[in-house]
Chains A and B, each alone.
Chain A
């Protein structure tokens, strides 16, 4: 058998804006989400959560709760026996020399103390969620409250209350990375910009909250778990280990999932362990669905970092070096290792040529919910720092902010670019391919940058209008390993079955992967049934995160489909008694080109491939099926620029986005329509992050705005119509040249807002910099009314 080619002969679907296979089910309300499940004899769970951010548990009295009609069981930590233990680390930290890492991971139910408000303390299983919640009210817990380490900067001091005993200064990790020699490189710099930046990223808030349902079949001794997880295969492995079951006896299904964005990625959420455990314990099916109020506390989120950053430049505005020291709030536990702060650390380099870089961070425990990736996963923080430093430098040097970027963008012939520091995927941070200047120019052109600054803005300002323009650039490391796999099979009914280990939370995998297979096998994309997130259908995988689904799983699908194509044409050639090169797969059949032979349907061919009798050639595999795995050597670097024109109402400080432009490069696109959707959605979340969303905790670690009425997710009135364009520099890390795009829209919006709003309110000319995100009408008012130099220096 010859090596399969990397591209099919005909390219009908790949690259086309095909409408989605999964839409009819979703649009008609027929798609199955976890809460839609009805299992035989299903009971319902609810969790009692600590109202205290830091407290000792003195006693738990469940007597009254157990006595309530309709309550089946109540569990506390003491009831879990050996099952109770801190969860394993999801992501071990990369092996960075000199790193300090203090692992403290979450437990299924709090034992002697609680470390954040919302931490689970007891599990109730009852005949309905209503009764279960009634029972929660019957449970009496005696707490002794302990001093709380809430705010990031104060939690980092040695005098702060210890979230975990023995860790002074609440040090979760301390990491230093550098390249070049900052001191030497920046001696004699024309300008050094120093600022303190604070950046807070919020909560993902997918429209579907989390949920788990589990059923243990005593007869087959198999456990089936339905979960909203983004990593079903990983969850399967963990559950099997923790429950003492064989991996093959556990099936995890992530059905349709209503959005993830990182919030459904943590392993192991307490509920993901407790519900299956309880189901096995009780011999009953158990279902738990999170409500939105719980979600605010119980689901992972990103929060803040404080950066003391400086950038040294020469008189032409070329970067000589960057030095940064930052604190990172990791919450009460750190199961996700260092992914978020390392992304921040690496993102500060941006798309620019930075000869010397010195970066140190301390991750700090606080008595608040766990911090784990949310769309962007820490890149936002880093991009804010570099983009703001560029803007401030431009101002101080008298250079236009687009121009200073031009002067520093990595040249097109410099790739691959190796940065000598370690990225979240344990490899050296490398940009594989890219061409940044055309992206910047196109964005400037689409926003009408020159004309706006020269003519429109002055005219509008003369009329008393507060309008500003912003332009920011970014790169995004995507498509990281370790690997994904896919199986492609031509079924005897002629339909193609594709299965892969990742899950889907709206990204369109049921269509994009179908497109890849359809081209190879000469069928309509509608005839390809893709299954994701079912560990019985596909056993191995890592999960959907870090903008890697299309890149990694997509390439695995491509290789598997190519292999099946090869098997099909080989078998068809035998069937027709001709050469393989004469076989064409199209319209669902295999035909001998240029000959009058009756074509054979793919289904019939598949039947031929599985003989029930007779001898086969040695080395033959049955069926027209292939499984392939793809693991990239390293991540692949997407890039882009965002530009915006915004107007601020001088009385209310409410904003109106007049124009929003995104130019991005995600390499080859499987389905441009889906790519657009990803960018739109990302920008919407970025707008929320920049101006509307903020988690407000008080000094006792209490979340004060834990409803959607108080935590403001952008509506259709807050997100503008966007103009999109793209450039293509194919990835060098995979055959299809794909780069990820899932997080691109969300990443640079913070600094874009800071720049454009500063411009609109003419703050810099009054000595005021915007060095924080999120903003808000209130905050703009304060900044606009503040005295000069009241916000700047970070020394």
Chain B
């Protein structure tokens, strides 16, 4: 799955870069992010609980940074495990470009899912990723520009985790799952949300 694009943030580049380095900011922007801990200079461990409608699941991932050139660009890559439902892995190249008094955030993401998630959900990953990225950027933009304080953003993120995705999920014609219907359906949809959360996370972590 590929996700390429640009987002303009109404804040100077250094500020954007600093926010990307701030674990608190990231935790607030990723819906359902339960924990985000730095491990050394260039790695983060995260647990994200995605909530899609009434359905919830936990996804654990690790990302690492490389090719770091502050405040311009870096590469981030990582892998996350979702138990029986599979895994996700991917990477992104992120570049910040000054644009007047704002910053253009350019991203090129390549992510793949594997296991059940790929087998059952692959055709939904792209569209869900797009929606999720948009959601993430909206929050990030709010925080960096100071429009919304971090605490409130974090609360909103937790409360509405995957809200839009729930609606998309209900409308999409998803095939019914196997024996652990409720459990796995939960995992599948949550994992889709988590993957994209992770991708968003990958994009913006420092």
Contact = CB atoms under 8 A, between A and B. Distances in A.
**Are A and B part of the same complex?**
yes
Interface string B147-183: 0000000000000000000000000010100111001
Interface string B69-101: 000000000010001101101000000000000
A137 B123 contact: no
Interface in A44-77: 48, 51-53
Nearest to B82: A51
A96 interface: no
B87 to A, nearest CB: 6
Interface stretch (A26-34, A329-337, A701-709): A701-709
Interface in A275-333: 291-293, 296-297
A137 B114 contact: no
A702 B118 contact: yes
A403 B32 CA distance: 69
B112 A698 contact: yes
Nearest to A51: B115
A706 B123 CA distance: 11
A291 B112 contact: no
Given A700-B112, A709-B175, A133 B180 contact: yes
Contact of B119 (A52, A134, A704): A704
Given A133-B180, A291-B178, A704-B123, A698 B84 contact: no
B180 to A, nearest CB: 5
B83 A702 contact: no
A51 B116 contact: yes
A296 B83 CA distance: 19
A291 B178 CA distance: 7
Interface in B112-150: 112-116, 118-120, 122-123
Given A51-B86, A136-B84, A707-B119, A702 B179 contact: no
A291 B122 CA distance: 19
A706 B119 contact: yes
A134 B183 CA distance: 9
A415 interface: no
Given A52-B114, A700-B112, A702-B114, A130 B180 contact: yes
A130 B79 CA distance: 29
A130 B175 CA distance: 19
A710 interface: yes
Nearest to B87: A51
A129 B179 contact: yes
A130 B123 CA distance: 27
A35 to B, nearest CB: 13
A710 B84 contact: no
Interface string A582-603: 0000000000000000000000
A268 B139 CA distance: 54
A704 B121 CA distance: 8
A117 B114 contact: yes
A266 B122 CA distance: 29
Contacts of B120: 293, 706-707
A275 B133 CA distance: 46
Contacts of B180: 130, 133-134, 137
Contact of B179 (A133, A700, A710): A133
A252 B120 CA distance: 35
Contact of B118 (A129, A130, A703, A709): A703
B127 to A, nearest CB: 15
Contacts of B112: 698, 700, 702
B84 A704 contact: no
B84 to A, nearest CB: 5
Contact of A137 (B84, B122, B175): B84
Nearest to B118: A702
A704 B118 contact: yes
Given A130-B180, A293-B178, A704 B114 contact: no
Nearest to A705: B122
Contacts of A145: 79, 89
A709 B79 CA distance: 28
A550 to B, nearest CB: 37
Contacts of A706: 118-120
Contacts of B83: 137
Nearest to A128: B179
Nearest to B112: A700
Nearest to A291: B178
A211 to B, nearest CB: 14
Contacts of A708: 175
B119 A703 contact: yes
Contacts of B115: 51-52, 117, 702
A313 to B, nearest CB: 45
Interface string A685-723: 000000000000010101111111110000000000000
A293 B177 CA distance: 9
A707 B180 CA distance: 16
Nearest to B181: A130
A53 B123 CA distance: 19
A136 B187 CA distance: 14
Nearest to A137: B84
Nearest to A698: B112
Given A51-B86, A117-B114, A137-B83, A702 B178 contact: no
Contacts of B178: 133, 291-293
Contacts of A704: 118-119, 122-123
A702 B180 CA distance: 22
B118 A698 contact: yes
Nearest to A132: B179
A706 B175 CA distance: 11
A362 B113 CA distance: 31
Nearest to A708: B175
Contacts of B87: 51-52
Contacts of B116: 51, 293
Contact of B114 (A48, A51, A130, A710): A51
Given A129-B179, A130-B180, A296-B119, A702 B84 contact: no
A136 B114 CA distance: 17
B38 to A, nearest CB: 22
Nearest to B83: A137
A134 B86 CA distance: 15
Contacts of B114: 51-53, 117, 700, 702
Contact of A291 (B86, B173, B175, B179): B179
Contacts of A291: 178-179
A355 B112 CA distance: 50
Nearest to B173: A709
Nearest to B120: A707
Contact of A293 (B79, B89, B113, B119): B119
11 contacts: A48-B84, A51-B87, A52-B87, A117-B115, A134-B180, A145-B79, A145-B89, A703-B118, A704-B123, A707-B119, A710-B175
Interface of B: 79, 83-84, 86-87, 89, 112-116, 118-120, 122-123, 173, 175, 178-180, 183
A-B complex: 4 closest residue pairs judged by Cβ atoms: A51-B115, A706-B119, A704-B122, A702-B118
Interface of A: 48, 51-53, 117, 129-130, 133-134, 136-137, 145, 291-293, 296-297, 698, 700, 702-710
Given A137-B83, A704-B119, 8 more contacts: A51-B87, A51-B115, A134-B183, A136-B84, A291-B179, A698-B112, A705-B119, A708-B175
